[in-house]
Structure 1
Amino acid sequence: MSTPDLNLLVTLNILLAEGSVARAARRLRLSPSAMSRQLARLRETTGDPLLVRAGRGLVPTPRALELRARVGQLVQEAEAALRPAESLDLKQLARIFTLRTREGFAENFGAELIARIAEQAPGVRLYFTQKLDKDSSPLRDGTIDFETGVVGDDTGPELRTQALFRDRFIGVVRSGHPLCEGEVSPERYAAGQHLLVSRRGLQKGQIDEVLEELGLKRQIATIVGSFSAALALARASDLIVSVPERYTGNLRVGMHSFALPVPTSDVTISLLWHPRMDADPAHRWLRGCIRDVCAGSRSGRSTRFEVG
């Protein structure tokens, strides 16, 4: 049996990641016809069609799905093995990193993170960009270096993740709101006018489901797509909003926060990146900075709740 061309592993990895001959050709800087010939060689070598036509696109075969994780890991290990060893000189490092987050992260952790970077690696710049969806393409194609968020079923299966902190939801109202005084019971809470934060425009959330189990229903006065917008509206009205505590610490300054009178699930905020950056020393260093800042930032201290 002849020895297979191991260069085909790189081609196969990109083809399976892109699911498109044209996009894979662009990444490998090949013509579409050359990429098609590479796919033909892969089909001959593996004895499987790998990608088959479905409408106007291509879909992977079961064999391709089986190979995807294995091939990706093999390529990453080969790249790491062939990469020359280097010692990272942070004082000489000149690089730009892009971090995609939802609103609240930069406001709460950005200043401390930027200060740490400036002290350790003055030539490094960190760009924050807004996270509007969970599409993994920007991480895959290198448009961004990191993103923060909640890992779910729609998170790209190949992405690396690291938990940064756990967060809980709390209630927030303007200073002087009636809920600033006395115990906030489920009945008092449900009786108020509420803001709902939903990027997808959902009409109800977990809190509504718990209230319904208690025979209660809250009135949703309006729905907004961001925590910052919700808190701005609550600050200027009698509306009640529920937001994650740590993620909105600096956005809530001057407002009254209280423990929700109904149980809700905590969320874990994680750092996500593409595995091709695992072995990059500068990337590893900045991952450590982000992790340390989130673990020790003052914005992570628990809100002190006062019950009248």
Structure 2
Amino acid sequence: MSLPDLNLLVTLDVLLAECSVAGAARRLRLSPSAMSRALARLRETTGDPLLVRAGRGLVPTPRAVALREQVHLLVQSGEAVLRPANQLKLAQLSRTFTLRTSDGFVENFGPALLARIGKEAPGVRLHFVQKSDKDSAPLRDGLVDLETGVVGKGAAPELRLQALFRDRFIGVVRAGHPLVEGELTPARYAAGRHIGITRRGLDKGPVDQALLPLGLARDVVTLVGGFATALALVRASDLVASVPERHTGSLRTGLHSFALPFDMPEITVSMLWHPRLDADPAHRWLRGCVREACAADAPATQSV
């Protein structure tokens, strides 16, 4: 049995990226006729047309779409194997990393992270983008280099992840709020006017689930999409917010924070990345920087 021509993987990777015989030929520095012959060989090898005419251009077949990411990863892995193992020179590194983070991460961990990166690799720039959902597509598609957050059930199984720290929900009110004085019971907490924090428009969350066995329910009078917005409302009203402690440390300055008067499970905040970047020296260094920035002791809470 003859082995397939593995050079065709590189050709297929470029063809699927360009969806153009002429464009792929230019990238690989081949003539259009040579690229057409390579496409014919790929069609014969795979038993699929791969690219078909649609108006003046070409579109991928369902089989080609299914193969696109797998082929790209194979080519990248092959290039990594054959590439000389150069030592990473941070002082000369020039690169932009895109980090997808939840509300509060940049405010609390960004300064320490940026200070270290500026000292070790001044040519590196971080691009923080807001995490509006738990979709893994930005990591898979290479639009994001690293993501932080609580790993949900819908996370892509191929993603790499590493725990950064554990966090817990706490309550926050303005200084002088009525809840500051006297014993704080679950019933007294639930009777306050609360802010719901949700990216998906849900009016029930983990705090509500923890109150349910006690026969209690919060009076949620408004919903917001992030911690910073919730705490801004708390600062100027008698509303109550329940937020993760470490994610909101700097945002809670001047506010009164307190332990919730009922049991709630802790959450684990992790960083996630695609396996294509697992062995990349610069990305490995970035992951170490993020780990160390998050390794500071959790801020103490003030109990009522």
Contact 1:103 1:226 in 2 (8 A): yes
**Secondary structure class of the residue paired with 1:286:** helix
The corresponding residue for 1:97 is 97
Identify unmatched segments of 5+ residues in structure 1: 16-20, 51-55
- Per-residue CA deviations over 1:134-167 (Å, capped at 9, x if unaligned) read 3333333333321212222222333222211111
**Secondary structure class of the residue paired with 2:134:** coil
RMSD: 3.5
- CA deviation after TM superposition for structure 1 residue 40, in Å: 8.1
- Per-residue CA deviations over 1:53-77 (Å, capped at 9, x if unaligned) read xxx997679xx99x99987875554
How many Å separate the matches in 2 of 1:88 and 1:131?
Answer: 30
- Per-residue CA deviations over 1:160-211 (Å, capped at 9, x if unaligned) read 2221111111111111112212332111111111110011111212222332
Are 1:304 and 2:301 counterparts?
yes
Partner letter of residue 203 of structure 2? Q
Contact 1:76 1:275 in 2 (8 A): no
- Per-residue CA deviations over 1:249-272 (Å, capped at 9, x if unaligned) read 101111111111222232221112
Amino-acid identity (%): 62
The corresponding residue for 1:217 is 217
1:157/1:10 Cα in 2 relative to 1: closer, same or farther (>3 Å)?
A: farther
Contact 2:165 2:269 in 1 (8 A): yes
The corresponding residue for 1:18 is none
Contact 1:207 1:262 in 2 (8 A): no
The corresponding residue for 1:247 is 247
Please tell me whether Structure 1 or Structure 2 has the larger radius of gyration of its CA atoms: 2
- CA deviation after TM superposition for structure 1 residue 39, in Å: 8.6
Matches within 5 A, 1:5-20: 5-9=5-9
Partner letter of residue 132 of structure 1? S
1:49/1:30 Cα in 2 relative to 1: closer, same or farther (>3 Å)?
A: closer
Contact 2:101 2:131 in 1 (8 A): yes
How many Å separate the matches in 2 of 1:166 and 1:12?
Answer: 44
The corresponding residue for 2:19 is 25
Matches within 5 A, 1:27-42: 30=24
Larger mean CA deviation between 175-184 and 247-256 belongs to 175-184
1:36/1:166 Cα in 2 relative to 1: closer, same or farther (>3 Å)?
A: farther
1:10/1:131 Cα in 2 relative to 1: closer, same or farther (>3 Å)?
A: farther
Contact 1:211 1:217 in 2 (8 A): yes
1:3/1:210 Cα in 2 relative to 1: closer, same or farther (>3 Å)?
A: same
- CA deviation after TM superposition for structure 1 residue 280, in Å: 1.8
Larger mean CA deviation between 161-170 and 136-145 belongs to 136-145
1:167/1:48 Cα in 2 relative to 1: closer, same or farther (>3 Å)?
A: farther
- CA deviation after TM superposition for structure 1 residue 109, in Å: 0.6
How many Å separate the matches in 2 of 1:201 and 1:24?
Answer: 38
How many Å separate the matches in 2 of 1:156 and 1:176?
Answer: 45
**Secondary structure class of the residue paired with 1:271:** strand
Partner letter of residue 135 of structure 1? D
1:49/1:126 Cα in 2 relative to 1: closer, same or farther (>3 Å)?
A: same
Matches within 5 A, 1:19-168: 25=19, 30=24, 45=45, 75=75, 77-168=77-168
How many Å separate the matches in 2 of 1:97 and 1:41?
Answer: 38
Contact 1:69 1:158 in 2 (8 A): no
The corresponding residue for 1:3 is 3
Aligned length: 289
The corresponding residue for 2:194 is 194
1:37/1:182 Cα in 2 relative to 1: closer, same or farther (>3 Å)?
A: farther
User: So what's the TM-score if we normalise by structure 1?
Assistant: 0.79
Are 1:266 and 2:266 counterparts?
yes
The corresponding residue for 2:28 is none
1:158/1:8 Cα in 2 relative to 1: closer, same or farther (>3 Å)?
A: farther
Partner letter of residue 3 of structure 2? T
User: So what's the TM-score if we normalise by structure 2?
Assistant: 0.80
Identify unmatched segments of 5+ residues in structure 2: 26-32, 51-58
How many Å separate the matches in 2 of 1:169 and 1:14?
Answer: 48
How many Å separate the matches in 1 of 2:221 and 2:103?
Answer: 22
How many Å separate the matches in 2 of 1:37 and 1:185?
Answer: 76
Contact 2:93 2:121 in 1 (8 A): yes
How many Å separate the matches in 2 of 1:195 and 1:269?
Answer: 22
Partner letter of residue 159 of structure 2? L
- CA deviation after TM superposition for structure 1 residue 246, in Å: 0.5
